[in-house]
């Protein structure tokens, strides 16, 4: 089985959602991009402090996570032409849960909910943890669900592990609260990189590609190295470095790579690998 087939074996294919829900996803994605631009470029309008770090990341999660339940069914054989009631319920539940975190972001920071949350906040944290695991399962497959689930429970036994990987032990309530309310897990480096870097790179790459800048750098790289030994490889590498490894670079160098691989036996670039 090829690599594409292996990926399809574990990942749930997306459904075709009705027009209204597709429009909803477009709106929330556009809102997330606008918020990220405001966060990245630090404009004078701060929306009353709404774009402080914790508020921003919870708001971004509130916009981007719920639509997963609209696009990805619970099972591979789930309905593709409609969204069942339970996915709509999970969509609403995820939105409400993330809104709760956003609304209480100040209390989370000031009152130390990541270590000692009140009872209702602990319940919201457990609910959010379960929803995040399900989102990971639908988006990345069962392996992602199992890996993240097991790793998220690591703090329960951290003190009993070998010295190389041991750590401070938490009870279940403390571990889940730390995951959801601290800035080291759910709102950790991955979320910060996504919210503060990924959107900027995507906007830059899309603008470069649609304005013709991508084709310009490809032509420049081909003019410099296209006819030398190992030209296709050097061509792609030079083009990627010229545009500073933007995420969309691979979308316009991948046709060159595919053509090169399919013609490998007759390619003078093959020995350069």
Q: State residue 120's pLDDT score.
A: 92
Q: How far apart are CA 9 and CA 30, in angstroms?
A: 31
Q: State residue 3's pLDDT score.
A: 45
Q: How far apart are CA 90 and CA 72, in angstroms?
A: 12
Element (H or E) spanning 45, and its range? Answer: none
- Six-digit token pair at 77? 């054989």
Q: State residue 42's pLDDT score.
A: 66
The residues, any chain, with a CB within 8 Å of residue 135's CB and separated by 6 or more, are: 65, 68, 69, 94
Residue 36: strand, helix, or coil:
helix
What number of other Cβ atoms are within 10 A of residue 122's Cβ? Answer: 19
- Six-digit token pair at 20? 């209204």
| 273 residues of the chain, pLDDT tens digit each | 444 444 444 566 677 767 777 788 788 888 888 888 777 776 545 554 445 778 888 988 999 899 889 888 888 887 877 888 999 999 999 999 999 999 998 888 888 898 888 989 999 999 999 999 999 999 888 999 999 999 999 888 888 888 788 888 888 998 999 999 988 889 888 888 887 777 777 777 777 777 776 677 667 766 766 666 665 556 566 665 555 554 555 555 555 555 555 555 544 444 444
Q: How far apart are CA 256 and CA 262, in angstroms?
A: 10
């Amino acid at each position: 089985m090829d690599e594409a087939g292996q990926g399809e074996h574990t990942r749930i294919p997306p459904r075709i959602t009705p027009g209204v829900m597709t429009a909803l996803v477009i709106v929330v994605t556009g809102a997330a991009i606008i918020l990220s631009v405001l966060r990245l470029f630090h404009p004078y309008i701060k929306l009353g402090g709404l774009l402080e770090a914790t508020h921003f990341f919870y708001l971004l999660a509130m916009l981007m996570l719920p639509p997963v339940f609209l696009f990805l069914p619970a099972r591979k054989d789930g309905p593709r032409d409609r969204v069942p009631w339970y996915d709509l319920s999970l969509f609403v539940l995820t939105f409400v849960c993330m809104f709760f975190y956003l609304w209480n972001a100040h209390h989370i920071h000031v009152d130390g909910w990541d270590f000692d949350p009140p009872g209702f906040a602990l319940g919201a944290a457990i609910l959010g943890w379960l929803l995040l695991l399900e989102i990971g399962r639908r988006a990345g497959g069962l392996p992602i669900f199992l890996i993240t689930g097991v790793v998220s429970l690591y703090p329960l036994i951290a003190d009993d592990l070998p010295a190389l990987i041991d750590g401070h032990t938490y009870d279940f309530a403390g571990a889940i609260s730390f995951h959801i309310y601290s800035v080291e897990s759910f709102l950790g480096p991955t979320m910060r990189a996504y919210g503060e870097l990924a959107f900027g790179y995507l906007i830059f790459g899309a603008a470069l590609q649609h304005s013709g800048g991508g084709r310009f750098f490809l032509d420049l790289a081909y003019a410099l190295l296209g006819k030398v030994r190992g030209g296709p490889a050097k061509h792609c590498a030079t083009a990627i470095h010229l545009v500073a490894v933007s995420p969309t670079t691979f979308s316009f160098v991948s046709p060159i790579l595919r053509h090169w691989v399919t013609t490998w036996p007759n390619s003078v670039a093959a020995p350069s690998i």
